[in-house]
A and B are shown apart, each in its own frame.
Chain A
Amino acid sequence: MKILIEGTFDSESQINPTVRKAFAKVNKFLTGMDEKIKAEGVPDIAYMILEKLSPVEKEGFIKIIKSLTLLTSGNVEMVRNRGKTWDRKKAQRWKRVSSPVSSNILYMLDFDVNSIVTAEDYKQASIHLSQIAGKSNIEFVSRFDHPMADGLPVDADTKQRSTQRDKARYDGENISILYRGLNDLPYSVIRYMITAKEISLGNACSSSTDVDVAQAFAGKRRDGFSALFVMSNPKKIGVDARQFSKFSIEKEIIIKGNFVVESVFCKTMHITESPFQNTVLTADGQKSIFENEAKKTMIELSQIGHKITVEHLDLIGHFAGRKFQKSNNLYFIFKGTLQ
């Protein structure tokens, strides 16, 4: 099998437009496909899209899949430290860390999936994700982008401009809002989050299009504070990992940038509730603690502890805190915009 030799990364921080479009198409047309079919081999539709890529573009596609794989199912710590803690004895083969569909696609693109994931791979993934996750890499793909579509811009049955309708649906439902859950946070971090008007997401932050995934993660551990970011994403920032992640149920989008906090809500953790249901305190995210009483109260509540006790209720008043559920975790929701 031919192994593509990876060169140094481009100084450009953009994905090649052809590769980006192919990536978006594969994502779009694999959506809803049975996992078993995806695991059996490269689905026909993906094959038709990928075979048209030039060798250089194929290399670009491989880079994206490898980077996403290492962040979503490899060792996150090593992506963060650029492979510094890589250990030859613990190193796994690509086919072990990648999802079945990613592994099949890598194989089809002539990448040796039996090769070991190296420290250099982690370093390259870290650099690559840092370059691409902050850009708008999520493209609209209409049904007429399907390799077997007849190319007509109008839906033959309804005589409507289906592309526009698809686009409206895509804009409204797809990635316009992203969610990130956090659990087990210490007081120092939650204090920082309440006081910060803008929160840096680092080089590659994992988020989801599904609020339930984020809330379930926020409520997973009860040893610290729980939080949820509700981020509107008007610029469509991020890299769509939904079809390539080993854990496709997470509906993962990798993002980079700054999260501008517009509102902060405080309530108790309840994963089956809508995030904004039964909130006890609401604060303006752009106001400092010196001009916002609610923020000050949130910090004082956090100082008492992450589990709701009588002390919390005494602080804000038993009537004001009637929606707090005793013994449950304090839960902060940050609503804002990704920039």
Chain B
Amino acid sequence: MKLTKTQIKQIIKEELEQVMNEVELEEQEAIQEEADASAKQELIDAMSVPMK
């Protein structure tokens, strides 16, 4: 199968976009995990306070 230069460029572009999206998603997940860990601790601290 012969590919034209334009097609190769398109394939590379799509692959790159996919990889970039995955990296972005992983980064977002890592940020969210970090935020959740901090929120979890904040919640534990709030719950030890008596309800007065």
Chain A contacts to B: CB under 8 angstroms: 71-73, 76, 79-80, 180-182, 185-186, 188-189, 191-193, 195-196, 199-206, 208, 213-214, 216-217, 245, 247, 250, 252
Contact = CB atoms under 8 A, between A and B. Distances in A.
A214 B51 contact: yes
B25 to A, nearest CB: 13
B6 interface: no
A252 B50 contact: yes
Interface in B1-52: 35-36, 38-40, 42-52
Nearest to A188: B39
A180 B50 CA distance: 9
Given A188-B35, A189-B39, A200-B40, A71 B48 contact: yes
Contacts of A252: 50-51
B49 to A, nearest CB: 5
Nearest to B45: A80
A191 B39 contact: yes
What secondary structure prevails in chain A residues at the interface with B?
mixed
Contacts of A204: 48
A247 B51 CA distance: 10
Interface of B: 35-36, 38-40, 42-52
Of the candidates B40, B45, B50, the one having the most CB atoms from chain A within 10 angstroms of its own CB is B50
Given A195-B36, A200-B40, A189 B51 contact: no
A76 B48 contact: yes
Contacts of A245: 50
Given A182-B47, A217-B52, 14 more contacts: A71-B50, A72-B50, A180-B51, A188-B35, A195-B36, A200-B44, A201-B44, A202-B47, A205-B48, A206-B51, A213-B51, A214-B51, A250-B50, A252-B50
A193 B43 contact: yes
A204 B36 CA distance: 20
Nearest to A79: B48
A193 B38 CA distance: 12
Contact of A202 (B39, B48, B50): B48
B2 to A, nearest CB: 42
Given A189-B39, A192-B39, A195-B36, A206 B49 contact: yes
A76 B47 CA distance: 10
Contacts of A214: 51
A94 to B, nearest CB: 18
Contacts of A205: 44, 47-48
Nearest to B38: A188
A188 B50 contact: no
B32 to A, nearest CB: 9
A203 B48 CA distance: 8
B42 A206 contact: no
16 contacts: A71-B50, A73-B50, A76-B49, A76-B50, A79-B48, A180-B47, A185-B43, A191-B35, A192-B39, A192-B43, A196-B36, A247-B50, A250-B50, A250-B51, A252-B50, A252-B51
**What are the 5 tightest A-B residue pairs by CB atom distance, in nearest-first order?**
A202-B44, A192-B39, A217-B51, A205-B47, A188-B39
Nearest to B46: A182
A318 B4 CA distance: 55
Contacts of B52: 217, 247, 250
Nearest to B50: A206
Nearest to A255: B47
B43 to A, nearest CB: 5
A191 to B, nearest CB: 7
Nearest to B51: A217
